[in-house]
Amino acid sequence: MVEERFLLARERIGEIKEEAVLQREFQEYFGEIASFLAMLCEEYDFVDKGGLKGASLEELQGRNHRLYEDILPGNYGQSYANPKVCAQRLGEEYGRILCALYAELRSLIPLAYEKRLEEVVIRLELFLEVYGCFCCSQKEDGLPADPKALQESIYWYVSDYAREAAQRRLKDMLLPQSDFARRIVEGDLSDCRYLYSFGEYITENQIKTWRHLSSLPQETLKKMADTYTEGYRIGFEVGGKDISKKKTVDIRYSLGFEPMIQKAIENFRKMGLEPTIYRLPSSLLYIKGVNPAGYFGAIPNKQYDFDHKDDLALILDKKLVQVRLEALREGYEQYKEAADVYGGPAVVETFGEKPAELKEKPQALHLSKEQQKLSVEYRLASGEIQNRYIKGEERSFTIIAFPTPEIGKDFGEIFDEVIRINTLDYKLYQQMQQRIIDTLDLGKYVIIKGMKGNKTNLKVMLHALSDKEKQTNFENCVADVNIPVGEVFTSPVLAGTEGILHVSRVYLNELEYRDLSITIKDGMVSDYSCGNFETLEENRKYISDNVLFHHESLPLGEFAIGTNTTAFVAARKYQIEDKLPILIAEKTGPHFALGDTCYSHAEEVAVYNPDGKEIIARDNECSLKRREGDRSAYFNCHTDITIPYDELGEVSVVTYEEQVIPIIEEGRFVVPGCEELNRPLTEQV
């Protein structure tokens, strides 16, 4: 039946290109989108008949380019995927709807490569239904009588298929049987043509990454994979969690790293873990999380992604949220046994891409205040459901990062330097960081002040230690869940934590913030601003959308002191500070996380440092609300903001007797026994 529906939809779409029944502007829109869908159907045939195996590299590159060329920066100014273009050609009301429809139809590309025919069909049928609304309901001017009919078509499409989408997503994440990507990764990687089998956008960036990894000695590749997988294993160990109870590991990475991932899979299997590898979704059928989950190729156009990040505003309401949550509950119940043995994600991040100058477009869809609240409610409720089946106190994770060739001409040197940073002597760092922790544990609070134009002036309150021989406030973080080594961190007491956090320039979740200022009062964000846009309103919205994630406020969930001066100096040497991922950047100075604590959903699990002391600072006044069943205990986000050493005037701990003990002065560590941390900084000078 699905094949028959596919053939019928395909035939009807082929006819639209030749029709002229609508007002010219709208007929042109539907004709162009129909041509795109016809090309997708042809691509499905090509994949289905095994064309990928025999095609030359040039043919594969040509096919890949034509699928994505419409939204590439050079063509985006004339594309129906651009909200501004759609509004100009079709009017703002119709333009927003039809622009969002086209973006949804573009999610067909990887589905054709995965041969998920039913998912292809429902999108083709959605297009035909919207076209039918125009043809059957048009007035004399060729427009439908009511644009709401178009919205309703999209609304019921999402509502009708949300359940199947949620279950497919969970199946891909939890069950190794969903092996589309794994078969590619475990196959022959000697020819870069395999990259085009995923259906993702592929550029020279992915090919050069593959080429570089393929040129590395096997022992280097093994070292990279070992660091990655050992970090995952150690994460269970230091967290007091039993990895032997787990059977799956969720691998998330950027295409081009398959030579390393292949070796990592071998390592995980030796631990008794089977990998699940699945694609990062891009569809209205899914609500995107704060952090990307899945594998992904190149981003064709970051402005396109930015323009469509709120497309759910077209249809989001309370009923739809309930439908999605019910679908999630049913999905987890269906796969509850698999969820119980799911170990958590093992993430390979990349960095080096050129920053994009993103612009807010008034023609794009934006969530209303009510929809923002619904979005927050959904994330909170979905987090509760997930933690019911994937218990935070039993799972773990790891994250490691590597540069991509787009970082510049020194890519090879930078890549080698990052390998060195990722494999620094964790025993040495463990010893130095313990000295810092011992000093911090003398205190009641910590003061942090900026210099050289940095306006930071913060007071961070610490938990009281009832038994200093057995308790500590700070975790000694070496190379486990967050690779590389280099930080000590705590969950601050919110009451009394106050002041201003300021950075002149920082990248958070791949977005740039200039002159970012966050005001904290009793541990909660009370005000915020940046200098990205011309108006205060635009700047506040930018932060609200992408840092606060529509919450009215967030707590200061983490305070940490990064100790990886080697990474800081390497970033300065190669002038890549603006390209570092937060994973490395957070180790290059003190950092402050807005959102949940690092122990979110696992606060009851006792955690110990290598010296045997228990880390008691696992809660704050927000997370403690969970004991009362209060949903506001968690925020389902955690964004780190780092102050670089050369903007750091002072980090000092203040004891209960008001004695001030310096940790860092003018960007240098002054705790006895930590002189080695200053060596890279001194050599840089």
pLDDT at 402: 94
Task: Report, as an integer, the average pLDDT of 26-48.
Answer: 96
| Residue 241 clears pLDDT 60, i.e. is over it | yes
Task: Report, as an integer, the average pLDDT of 27-56.
Answer: 96
Task: Report, as an integer, the average pLDDT of 61-65.
Answer: 97
Beta strands in 44-202 (DSSP E): none
Report residue 379's pLDDT band, with 50, 70 and 90 as the boundaries. confident
3-state SS assignment for residue 553: coil
**Any residues with CB less than 8 A from the CB of 58 and at least 6 apart, and which?**
none
pLDDT at 292: 67
Task: Report, as an integer, the average pLDDT of 611-635.
Answer: 91
Please state which of the ranges 121-130, 326-335, 338-347, 621-630 shows the lowest mean pLDDT: 621-630
| Residue 290 clears pLDDT 70, i.e. is over it | no
pLDDT tens digits, residue range 511-544? 889 999 999 999 999 999 999 998 999 999 999 9
3-state SS assignment for residue 405: helix
Task: Report, as an integer, the average pLDDT of 107-129.
Answer: 96
Average pLDDT of the chain? 92
Task: Report, as an integer, the average pLDDT of 602-615.
Answer: 90
Could you give the CA distance from residue 594 to residue 617 in angstroms, rounded to a whole number? 16
pLDDT at 393: 84
pLDDT tens digits, residue range 422-445? 888 888 999 999 999 999 999 999
pLDDT at 582: 81
| Residue 356 clears pLDDT 80, i.e. is over it | no
Q: What is the CA radius of gyration of the chain?
A: 26
Could you give the CA distance from residue 568 to residue 454 in angstroms, rounded to a whole number? 18
pLDDT at 239: 79
pLDDT at 563: 94
Task: Report, as an integer, the average pLDDT of 656-660.
Answer: 96
Considering the entire predicted model, what is its pTM?
A: 0.84
Q: How many CB atoms lie within 10 A of CB 379?
A: 20
Helix (H) or strand (E) holding 591: strand 590-595
Task: Report, as an integer, the average pLDDT of 366-374.
Answer: 92
Q: Which amino acid is at 75?
A: N
DSSP sequence for 126-168? HHHHHHHHHHHHB-TTSSBS-THHHHHHHHHHHHHHHHHHHHH
Task: Report, as an integer, the average pLDDT of 566-570.
Answer: 92
pLDDT at 559: 97
Query: Which of left, alpha, beta for 549 (phi over 0: left; psi -120 to 50: alpha)?
Result: left
3-state SS assignment for residue 78: helix
pLDDT tens digits, residue range 138-192? 666 656 667 888 999 999 999 999 999 999 999 999 999 878 999 999 999 999 9
The CA-atom distances, in angstroms, between 74 and each of 58, 161, 275, 358, 382 are: 21, 34, 38, 15, 39
| Residue 327 clears pLDDT 80, i.e. is over it | yes
pLDDT at 143: 67
Nearest to 349 by CA among 293, 302, 309: 293
